[in-house]
Structure 1
């Protein structure tokens, strides 16, 4: 029996979804070529029309799954408007998928400040220079904005923009999927009524 088969058998028997996710992410970090923390983020606008795009997971714990963005971007506006979102991780090399959804809260200023300081200086400049998700008249206009903020913050610290922070998805559903032969995949969903409630586990038909 292979190591992956042993892991698959184990995950269907375990009862704590955050522990399973931690193990799967660790294995993805060892097997994925690029960005094992990349995740599809789904939101919905005021008309009920969905949007999806890739972002990077920047942290998770028992409180939820955290990513950072410009709050004036399309995804930022949609999350602030609806306070709900969903994520889908797909690790092709491991033939695994994790889906989750739930309510969204804004991270604390302290969390956002601490993460912002870890970003490359150019990325911190970019957070100021880019009017994310809005029309751009030319590439030159973006480069000009970058140059302006580079000059403004040429020396010393670069403060976090007031419109840039993080969101935390507090899941009420987390589903683990593992590829199996003949499309008879393993699917286990953890559910709870509220973000602070107890989990129940349901094994699903593939």
Structure 2
């Protein structure tokens, strides 16, 4: 690759002196910064885009990008088809890792731990907040399953749109029984800050006791080399 593009990262990084007392506080600060920037600049178009990695029963990894739809001191969460590849791999091994990455800000957060299925009430509450068309799409798509051509997907969408017409009520479209969500129950949360000359900052909160992301006694902080 003789045409490699080299960009020197000009971020401010992150230091032990400025990092928040808990991984939740620090993650919330950076997520809020990314959302604020997305509203005034076009270089962070999807601040909640999160890459999710799972492992199958043979130990082979899979990664894909979804949208973070839950975020609190219990960990980041997302919705998906429970019979999708990610859902089946979570059921098989439970292991999960996820990353929020904002290249324009020279920042990333990495979460590692185990996946916990969201309650039906949490899933239903979020599902009802989605636009009608998105709720119909959840029925139309059997995630990760093969399909012959785009038309099959369009036909399924039209079929469910007719079955569940839009009357402006969240109850117009029920939650599919094959649709759910997961939360990353973290053992480790890393904050990466890009800096010049590839001397990036990596500050890592590691779990030392039970507790959510906002419980200081559950975590210890260390620095890793870039």
What is the TM-score when the length of structure 1 is the normalising length?
0.92
Residues 133, 158 of structure 1: alpha-carbon distance in 2 compared, 3 angstrom cutoff: same
Residue among 198, 206, 209 paired with 1:183 = 198
Q: Alpha carbon RMSD of aligned pairs, Å? A: 1.8
- Name the count of aligned residue pairs: 202
| Contact 1:15–1:201 (Cα < 8 Å) also in 2 | no
Q: Is the 8 A contact 2:23 2:205 kept in 1?
A: yes
Counterparts of 1:88 and 1:155 in 2: how far apart (Å)?
35
Distance change (3 Å), C-alpha of 1:70 and 1:11? farther
- The answer as to whether partners of 1:102 and 1:169 remain within 8 angstroms in 2 is yes
**CA offset at residue 14 of structure 1?**
2.8
Q: 2:113 aligns with which of 77, 93, 102?
A: 102
Unmatched 5+ stretches in structure 2: 1-10, 212-216
TM-score for both structures, normalised by structure 2: 0.84
2: CA distance between counterparts of 1:8 and 1:55? 26
* Equivalent of residue 146 in structure 1, options 145, 157, 172: 157
More divergent stretch after superposition (129-138 vs 194-203): 194-203
Counterpart contact for 1:172–1:195, Cα < 8 Å: no
Equivalence for 1:171: 186
Question: What is the DSSP-based 3-state SS (H/G/I as helix, E as strand, rest coil) of the residue aligned with 2:83?
Answer: coil
Query: Where in structure 1 are there 5+ consecutive unaligned residues?
Result: none
Return structure 1 stretches of 4+ with deviation > 6 angstroms. none
Greater RCO, CA 8 A, separation 6+: 2
Q: 2:131 matched to 1:136?
A: no
Deviation at 1:155, TM superposition (A): 5.2
User: What is aligned with 1:162?
Assistant: 177
